[in-house]
Amino acid sequence: MSQHPLTRFDRILVEIERALGTTLDPQPSSARPSPSAGIDEAELDEVARRHAGGLMRVNHVGEVCAQALYSGQAAVARDPRLREQLLEAAAEETDHLAWCGERLQELGDRTSLLNPLWYGGAYTIGALAGLASDRLSLGFVVETERQVEAHLDGHLSKLPASDQRSRAIVVQMKQDEARHAEQAMAAGGADLPTPVKHLMRVAANLMRAVAYRL
């Protein structure tokens, strides 16, 4: 039985469903088990617990933005193969989203109150990058993932040393982000201009500062 191609209205509904699932679902399903599985929970005092919760909330927001960026880029991608690659990466990022959400619950903390805002802004940026060209879109993926990898590396030095469950999640996320950057570069990603990279860092730093608290 042949499948009918999605109409523009169908695609809009799909995007709305994806956005709602990413920003409102407290515990999305993951294809892979959490890297923290089998690791004993550490006894954290209130200050350490809240600090770990703030850091993992930032990581959760990063995954919300990753979902939005990939979705926005895939929505306007000219090359069907690129669209498929972006959607596959987004599916893997869903694992990260689920792991961070689960860890926040374990820490007795919550996701960001501004998730719909983060998603909307990141989706717009992703779509604009995709409209520029497929090579620039891939270059945007490369730079985004490299910055995220550096950010996660920083979190490994900031998380409480005894919080091995959170640390295991961050380590696996860091490895996945590095692989996504390599794949995008191999697919022909263009090197972004230095001012664009700087602007991305400024925006990411602002997001992290706000998400840690809200």
Give the three-class secondary structure for 68: helix
- Domains along the sequence of the chain with CATH: 44-213 (1.20.1260.10)
Instruction: Give tens-digit pLDDT for 89-103.
Output: 888 888 899 999 999
3-class secondary structure for 42-66? Answer: CCCCHHHHHHHHHHHHHHHHHHHHH
CB 28 within 8 Å of CB 67:
no
Q: Which of 98, 103, 112 is nearest to 42 (CA)?
A: 103
Q: Which helix (H) or strand (E) holds 5?
A: none
Instruction: Give tens-digit pLDDT for 122-173.
Output: 888 888 888 888 888 888 888 888 999 999 999 999 999 999 999 999 999 9
pLDDT score at 30: 77
Q: Which of 188, 191, 183 is nearest to 140 (CA)?
A: 191
